[in-house]
Amino acid sequence: MRIDVVALFPQAVQVFCETSMIGRAAAAGLVEFGFWNLRDYAQDARRTVDDRPYGGGPGMVLMAGPLVAAIRAARARQPAARVAYLSPQGALLDHGAVMELSRRSGLILVAGRYEGIDERVVESEIDEEWSIGSYVLSGGEAAAAVVIDAVVRQLPGALGHEDSAREDSFVEGLLDCGHYTRPPVFEGRKVPEVLLSGDHGRIRRWRLMQSLGRTWLRRPDLLAGRKLTVEEETLLEEFKREYRGLRS
């Protein structure tokens, strides 16, 4: 997979992509990156890439000329890739969207800045818009890093254990259960006995029950449209009884 990033500060994303899991995935040849600095495509000696908005108002807007030139340079490297603008007005990025993006051969991410980008660029160059949440960032570089992290970890071989991505929150439409590691007792708090039992069947059921229970408590909207299996219904009811018993 190849991911190109068009931004005013691409170095911020580049450093992120050189670390940890993403850096290892790149070193292993699972993903390739390209970074395109808008100032390299400025059309004056001062390397200007932004200007005041027509009609007045606060802030600055990224100019069409440098942005279009940078996007087209990235397109030349991977003509089949769709261009995605990271914007609070875009479709909300969820697990299903991440999985769809991870199956592509390439992606071009455009990071905005200031008040946004010239709308004519959206009309002529942007294929899709994605939002990572209902809030505004100073720039799209952070959002690009989020998209890259979410997508790259889904590539086969990117994570240390093949089951890691499959057991994350949202993969099965549920939140993940809690996790524990050594020591078995920390400041008087013990690891749940079932996790020390070695009984893989009990462990699986406990983890599923905790996952269902956490989703019920924290994200009940995820359960609203989900048809539970008989086992899931039984485990969720068991969790509710234990939870209410602790609160009574």
For the segment 206-214, the average pLDDT, to the nearest whole number, is: 97
3-state SS class at 236: helix
- pLDDT tens readout for residues 51-82: 999 999 999 999 999 999 999 999 999 999 99
Q: Which domains does the chain carry?
A: 2-152 (3.40.1280.10), 169-247 (1.10.1270.20)
Phi, psi dihedral angles at 117 (to 5 degrees): -120, 155
By C-alpha distance, which of 166, 159, 155 is closest to 32? Answer: 155
Average pLDDT over residues 185-193: 95
pLDDT(150) > 70: yes
Question: Catalytic residue numbers?
Answer: 88, 115, 153, 168
Whether the full predicted model's pTM is greater than 0.85, yes or no, is: yes
Angle at 27 between CA 18 and CA 3, to 5 degrees: 65
pLDDT higher than 80, residue 166: no
Contact (Cβ atoms closer than 8 angstroms) between residue 42 and residue 66: yes
Model confidence band, residue 172 (pLDDT cutoffs 50, 70, 90):
confident
Quick check: helix, strand or coil at residue 186? strand
DSSP state of 189: E
Q: Which residues sit opposite 91 in a β-bridge?
A: 130
What's the DSSP call for residue 194? G
Residue 125: closest CA among 135, 112, 137: 112
Q: pLDDT digits over 23-62, tens only?
A: 999 999 999 999 999 999 998 999 999 999 999 999 999 9
Predicted local confidence at residue 28, as pLDDT: 97
Tokens 């549920």 belong to 174
Token digits for 150? 């979410």
Element (H, E) at 90: strand 83-92
Picking from 73, 61, 66, the residue whose alpha carbon sits closest to that of residue 117 is 61
